[in-house]
Homo-oligomer: A and B are copies of this chain.
Amino acid sequence: MSDKVIRVGMMGLGTVGRGVYRILKENGAGIEQKVGARIEIKKILVRDLEKNRGIDPGEGILTTNISDLIENLGIDLVVEVMGGVEPAFEYSLRALNQGKSLVTANKDMIALHGKELFEAAEANGSDVLFEASVAGGIPIIRPLKECLAANRIQQVIGIINGTTNYMLTRMHEESLDFDQVLKEAQSLGYAEADPAADVEGYDAARKLAILSSIAFNTRVALNQVYVEGITHITAEDIAYANELNYVIKLLGITKETDEGIEVRVHPALLSKKHPLASVNDVYNAIFVRGDAVGDVMFYGRGAGEMPTASAVAADVMSAARNLLRNVPGMISCTCFEVKPVKPMGSTLTNYYVRLNVADKPGVLAGIAFIFGDNEVSLASVIQRHTAGHSAEIVLVTHEVLERNFQKALEAIKELPNVYEITSVIRTEG
């Protein structure tokens, strides 16, 4: 046994906190060997001392007083697993300003207040590690910051929300509708009672802001991320996508272009040949393209007690190693450039459009004319008679400028024989 000890204070003892506690306990011997010191949890901040959490940290470990951690000279390292922005941010900042290193799993806090945290860490010579904030247990932050650091990253595309990926997988496999799979996901505990953060894409947007900032060495703020959720995706769209050799996925996409950084979360028809296309159920994956490495992908569980705790515990080990050698802050914030974010209207993408139209000659011609007039060229067209006197037209465009496409769509909406523009979804890959 090593005679060195790294003393940890943990803020929060919910799902992830219990996972971290368990890993540090159960795998403690191996962790000690690898780090060269014992890692001991000395204080845990909770709201309720009496609550039964199924673990017993021992006498005097639990506290409801944040000062017991932050102003405790005996604590080297603070682990923030309470979630939410406040008071997590206030406490984390205080801990950094006391010279402690910080490990966090909190995507909301990093996406909103990363800048302040990194500045405080730099001023105090501390570490801020946050691998668990994106894609749970999947290594992605450290690979981007270290393993792929010699590359110019060109794009990062991620399936970074497990709830929506589960739902879309079920819709694909069972031809179910959105409302049905949402209920199913809620009953399985994959979706929350208020599912907005997941199905509207906000959760993915927070993670994408973090990934984009790291990939391109520039700070991308949450409000710069274009966000569109999956609530309008139907079983029919998924069936058409399948016929056209696509699957529909909620993607977080960020690319560096000459006109700035693209950063957008939206559902997309993804070619079945793309490595992300076979990522199903609650699994997450992040696809990275670098100028030297080419395409790499990282796959695994993006949430859950133990996967998330795996990432937190690894960061604790790294921070502990740095503390032991007096080199916290070795790899600090990498946002050393300032790059503009490209306006959404300037984005180039392909589109899938489904329309309900009058089943008459010339309708398709009218639509095609308007697209052509707006420099939108078509890659494929399916037209099918449906009930009564109406028909369904499904179009996939070549690459188009977002603002041209939207203009064409406005004009098409006004055509007397176009009853409804049923679906408009981007395609990728």
**Residue positions of A touching B, CB distance < 8 A:** 19, 23-24, 27, 30-31, 33-34, 131, 137-139, 142-143, 146-152, 217, 275, 278, 290-301, 304, 306-307, 309-311, 313-314, 316-318, 321, 325, 327, 330-331, 334, 336
Complex Cα distance A149/B148, Å? 19
16 contacts between A and B (CB under 8 A): A19-B292, A27-B150, A27-B292, A30-B152, A33-B217, A33-B334, A131-B147, A150-B309, A150-B313, A150-B316, A292-B313, A295-B301, A297-B298, A298-B298, A298-B299, A321-B330
- Judging by beta carbons under 8 Å apart, are A139 and B148 in contact? yes
- Judging by beta carbons under 8 Å apart, are A330 and B336 in contact? no
Tell me how far the C-beta of A417 lies from the nearest C-beta in chain B, rounded to whole angstroms. Answer: 43
Contacts of A307 in B (CB 8 A): 292-294
Tell me how far the C-beta of A396 lies from the nearest C-beta in chain B, rounded to whole angstroms. Answer: 23
Contacts of A138 in B (CB 8 A): 293, 296
- Judging by beta carbons under 8 Å apart, are B296 and A297 in contact? no
- Judging by beta carbons under 8 Å apart, are B317 and A292 in contact? no
Q: Pick the contact of A294: B23, B147, B300, B327 (CB < 8 A).
A: B300
Q: Which residue of B lies closest to A297 (CB)?
A: B299
Tell me how far the C-beta of A317 lies from the nearest C-beta in chain B, rounded to whole angstroms. Answer: 5
Tell me how far the C-beta of A111 lies from the nearest C-beta in chain B, rounded to whole angstroms. Answer: 21
Complex Cα distance A296/B311, Å? 12
Q: Give 17 A-B pairs besides A27-B151, A290-B310, A292-B306 with Cβ atoms closer than 8 angstroms.
A: A27-B150, A33-B336, A34-B149, A139-B139, A143-B143, A147-B311, A292-B310, A293-B300, A293-B301, A293-B307, A294-B306, A295-B300, A296-B299, A297-B299, A297-B300, A321-B331, A325-B327
Contacts of A31 in B (CB 8 A): 149-150
Contacts of A131 in B (CB 8 A): 147
Contacts of A217 in B (CB 8 A): 30, 33
Greatest chain B CB density within 10 A among A143, A150, A290, A330 is at A150
Complex Cα distance A295/B298, Å? 11
Contacts of A30 in B (CB 8 A): 152, 217
Tell me how far the C-beta of A420 lies from the nearest C-beta in chain B, rounded to whole angstroms. Answer: 37
Shortest 9 CB-CB contacts between residues of A and residues of B: A150-B313, A139-B147, A296-B300, A137-B293, A292-B310, A293-B310, A297-B299, A292-B306, A139-B143
- Judging by beta carbons under 8 Å apart, are B23 and A292 in contact? yes
Contacts of A314 in B (CB 8 A): 146-150
Q: Pick the contact of A292: B152, B275, B292, B309 (CB < 8 A).
A: B309
Greatest chain B CB density within 10 A among A30, A291, A309, A316 is at A30
Complex Cα distance A294/B283, Å? 11
Tell me how far the C-beta of A209 lies from the nearest C-beta in chain B, rounded to whole angstroms. Answer: 20
- Judging by beta carbons under 8 Å apart, are B310 and A151 in contact? yes
Contacts of A325 in B (CB 8 A): 325, 327, 330
Greatest chain B CB density within 10 A among A295, A296, A306 is at A296
Complex Cα distance A384/B290, Å? 50
Tell me how far the C-beta of A155 lies from the nearest C-beta in chain B, rounded to whole angstroms. Answer: 14
Tell me how far the C-beta of A278 lies from the nearest C-beta in chain B, rounded to whole angstroms. Answer: 5
Q: Which residue of B lies closest to A331 (CB)?
A: B321
Complex Cα distance A307/B307, Å? 28
Contacts of A336 in B (CB 8 A): 33
Contacts of A24 in B (CB 8 A): 150
Complex Cα distance A151/B19, Å? 12
Q: Which residue of B lies closest to A275 (CB)?
A: B299
A143-B143, A217-B33 known; A150 vs B317 contact (CB < 8 Å)? yes
Complex Cα distance A300/B298, Å? 9
Q: Which residue of B lies closest to A150 (CB)?
A: B313
- Judging by beta carbons under 8 Å apart, are A310 and B150 in contact? yes
Complex Cα distance A306/B294, Å? 8
Tell me how far the C-beta of A218 lies from the nearest C-beta in chain B, rounded to whole angstroms. Answer: 12
Tell me how far the C-beta of A256 lies from the nearest C-beta in chain B, rounded to whole angstroms. Answer: 12
- Judging by beta carbons under 8 Å apart, are B137 and A292 in contact? yes
